[in-house]
Amino acid sequence: MLAIHLLCNNLEHPIIPHLQHWIKSNQCRHQVSLISLKEEAKGGDILLLISCSDYISSKIASKYSKIFVIHASDLPKGRGWSPHVWTLLDGAEELTISLIEAHEKIDQGDIWAQEKIAIAPSDLFDEIDSKLFAAEIRLIEKAVRLIESGQKVGTRQIGEASYFPKRTPEDSEIDPSKPLSDTFNKIRLMDVNRYPAFFKLHGSEFIIEIKKRV
């Protein structure tokens, strides 16, 4: 039985129900806890950083056998913030999610496993999240299996690195003068509940909500 901590800073993040379901499904196999503060990281076998912006000090790191980060890009490309959103804004129709070992330099640890998921051009943010979170859960499972088996499979990141900046509310703004065909990709990626797409017109600001007709 492994002692595992899942660290996600925001307990309102949409991945939380998926993490809670995984914990419930594995509570007979392992001692798993969901934490939101790095100060709660008291030590164990595995610390997994999921949608986590905290920097883990060497003092905390020394309390765990292994610390992993899940990052939604094909590293070393796409280091930084909100990588899956920036990648899809660039027109990609596939995402790579990486399981990496935590490193003192952010997003530069060895790659232990990767998952690729196809994103249809008609997928909305909630459908994308569903695919993304399912892949992240699979990587959590893989991390646990690798540690259980005693394998060390990490490989260095190879290639030219690129970096994404932190997104701001202004990044969700839509230009109302542009045709919908030009702005749809941006609109569909914006989280209606947390970072909604919006536009300004006639002295007012309007939020855009989008859903598929079924």
pLDDT in the model for residue 152? 77
- Number of structural domains found in the chain: 2
**Position 123 confidence tier, pLDDT thresholds 50, 70, 90:** very high
Helical H runs in the chain? 16-26, 58-61, 83-89, 125-149, 180-189
SS (H, E, C) 49-78: EECCCCCCCHHHHCCEEEEEEEECCCCCCC
**Position 193 confidence tier, pLDDT thresholds 50, 70, 90:** confident
**Final residue in a domain of this structure, among 147, 164, 181:** 164
Same domain, 143 and 185: no
User: Does 119 map to a domain?
Assistant: yes
User: Does 191 map to a domain?
Assistant: yes
**CA–CA dist 107, 80 (Å, integer):** 7
**Position 82 confidence tier, pLDDT thresholds 50, 70, 90:** very high
CATH number at residue 119: 3.40.50.170
Tens of pLDDT, residues 157-182: 999 999 999 999 999 999 999 999 99
**CA–CA dist 123, 188 (Å, integer):** 7
pLDDT in the model for residue 198? 98
Same domain, 86 and 140: yes
Same domain, 47 and 80: yes
User: Does 144 map to a domain?
Assistant: yes
User: Does 213 map to a domain?
Assistant: no
Q: Taking the mean position of all CA atoms in its chain, how far away is CA 187?
A: 19
Nearest 5°: the CA angle 31, 33, 38 is 130
User: Does 159 map to a domain?
Assistant: yes
Angle, in degrees to the nearest 10, between helices 180-189 and 125-149: 40
Query: Which of 44-48, 132-136, 150-154 shows the lowest mean pLDDT across its residues?
Result: 150-154
Q: Does the pLDDT of residue 185 top 80, yes or no?
A: yes
List, in order, residues 6 or more apart from 171 with CB less than 8 Å away: 195
- Please name which of 60, 75, 137, 63 lies closest in space to residue 109, comparing C-alpha atoms: 75
Same domain, 89 and 127: yes
Same domain, 102 and 203: no
Per-residue b/e over 133-158, b at no fewer than 16 CB within 10 Å?
Answer: bebbbebbebbbebbeeeeeebeebe
The parent domain of residue 187 ranges over: 169-208
Tens of pLDDT, residues 17-30: 999 999 999 999 99
User: Does 214 map to a domain?
Assistant: no
- Mean pLDDT (the chain, rounded): 95
Q: What are phi and psi of 127, to 5 degrees?
A: -70, -40
